[in-house]
Amino acid sequence: MLVGVILTGLLSVLDSTLVVPLLATIGDEFSAGSAVSWLIAGYLLTSTVSIPLWGRWMDLRGERNAMWVALLVFAIGTFIAMLATSLPLLILGRLVQGVGAGGLVPVGQAIVAGRCTGEERARLQVYYNVAYGTAAGLGPLIGGALIGVSWRWAFAVILPMIVLAGLLLWGKLSNRPRESEARRFDALGSILMTSGLTLLLLGIERSWPMSLVAGALALLAFVWHALRRRDGLIPASLLRSRTIVAAASVALIIGFVQFAMLTFLPRLAQDAAPGLNSGIVVVPLTLLWMLLGAFTGMLALRTGTKPLALLSALLAIGASVTLVVSSAYPSLLLSSVLVGAAAGLILIPALLLIQHAAPRNDVGAATSFMILMRNFGGAAGAAVVAVLLEDGGVTMAFGVLAIVAAAALLPALLLPSRSVEKQLIAAATRARHS
């Protein structure tokens, strides 16, 4: 079962990166111009805003129901994209793919979390993180190899992997809700959160002030609504937990810095070293994110998550300040190293801490909440830096990024001490066996 769960997460990551090297080819075929960017933005948007819906659905309807529907939606989107005869149809396929992908990672990680002790969770997350990092690195390489063939193969190669994942999971998932009683789905909460996040992301990407204001108001209304009911899309117990909110906030800020760097370091490398492959500059980021993440879950059991979060914030600050001082190629490489270490140090420990701190019946929602915050931070970071680079150049863009990175220190300080974290792990283990 573990291989099947890991494969579903790998599908989501691989599909998000395969298309990047093919954008120019697709744009030329459909004479699309800048509109081709929606093949990435649309996928990221729908995969991000749908994350909490999938996690809550799993808690209320069972893991088998959620996983099979997510795989089916992802497969339908892949078929639409592969057979698309126009750019609007291709974008539609990517939007549908994103909705399915929004369920694959959080549902898969929650399935793993629900079957393990605290130490087992940390060990199994190693395999998940290695697969995630490998897919993130392989996607652009595979996509680049398909430039001389056809962009449709970027979707065709995904289909047999979907079938394989389904076969590996067949008969191994439970359809028993994690709630003691199945409760009604939070339709109002879903509308408020989805519209709020969508409006915020569109407002950032398109520099629409009214969209930003409307998105912020919708999210405030969502929080007010969620705190008034126990069984909301994001349960009130999660929003009232200082540990969960602090860990998710750290993940949001580190995701903001990480994806801003991942997106724009190659662009800066093209100017700094025109003769080199611009993708080389993000190799340290990807490798350190993957390699450190492979064991920091276990490390957090011994040191606590708090020191790792503080160190991660300092490294993210250092990565941003490095580019304020210089955008020469060695500085780009150093920044890549620092931000890769920052992401590798905290993202898995923060996820595990949130799962330990969440009530047993809300593990799916808690996992989705963490991944939502990280992904939304990443989407917002890429959009904000794009606007700042256009308006104020490298110094302004990465100066603001350094300020954002420094903000991670506050939620990091609010994380529990190692002794309190050990108590949370023990309580979560007892609840799993009760």
For residue 141, what are the domain limits? 1-172
Q: Which secondary-structure segment (H or E) carries 38?
A: helix 38-49
Same domain membership, residue 272 and residue 220: no
Please report where in the chains the tokens 């954008």 appear, as a residue. Answer: 23
Instruction: Check whether 180 has a pLDDT greater than 50.
Output: no
Q: What is the CATH number of the domain that holds 277?
A: 1.20.1250.20
CA distances from 269 to 261, 272, 274, 378 (A): 11, 5, 7, 20
Nearest to 365 by CA among 75, 74, 114: 114
- Chain segment 36-62, per-residue pLDDT in tens: 767 876 787 788 788 877 877 777 777
- 302-319 mean pLDDT: 96
Written as six digits, the tokens of 401 are 């990024």
Q: Is 365 within 8 Å of 56 (Cβ atoms)?
A: yes
For residues 318 and 285, the model is more confident at 318
Same domain membership, residue 14 and residue 99: yes
179 within a domain of the structure (yes/no):
no
Same domain membership, residue 154 and residue 215: no
Q: How many domains does the chain have?
A: 3
Nearest to 332 by CA among 268, 381, 425, 389: 268
Residues 6+ apart with CB under 8 A from 130: 290, 293, 294
Same domain membership, residue 255 and residue 392: yes
State how far the Cα of 400 lies from the Cα of 385, in Å rounded to an integer: 8
State how far the Cα of 23 lies from the Cα of 34, in Å rounded to an integer: 10
Q: Which of the 8 DSSP states describes residue 288?
A: H
Please report where in the chains the tokens 């590798």 appear, as a residue. Answer: 344
State how far the Cα of 298 lies from the Cα of 292, in Å rounded to an integer: 11
Same domain membership, residue 423 and residue 334: yes
- Chain segment 88-129, per-residue pLDDT in tens: 999 999 999 999 998 887 787 777 766 666 566 666 666 666
Q: Is 145 within 8 Å of 24 (Cβ atoms)?
A: no
Model pLDDT, residue 110: 74
177 within a domain of the structure (yes/no):
no
Same domain membership, residue 424 and residue 299: yes
Same domain membership, residue 191 and residue 118: no
pTM: 0.79
CA distances from 244 to 26, 336, 433 (A): 42, 28, 22
Same domain membership, residue 224 and residue 239: no
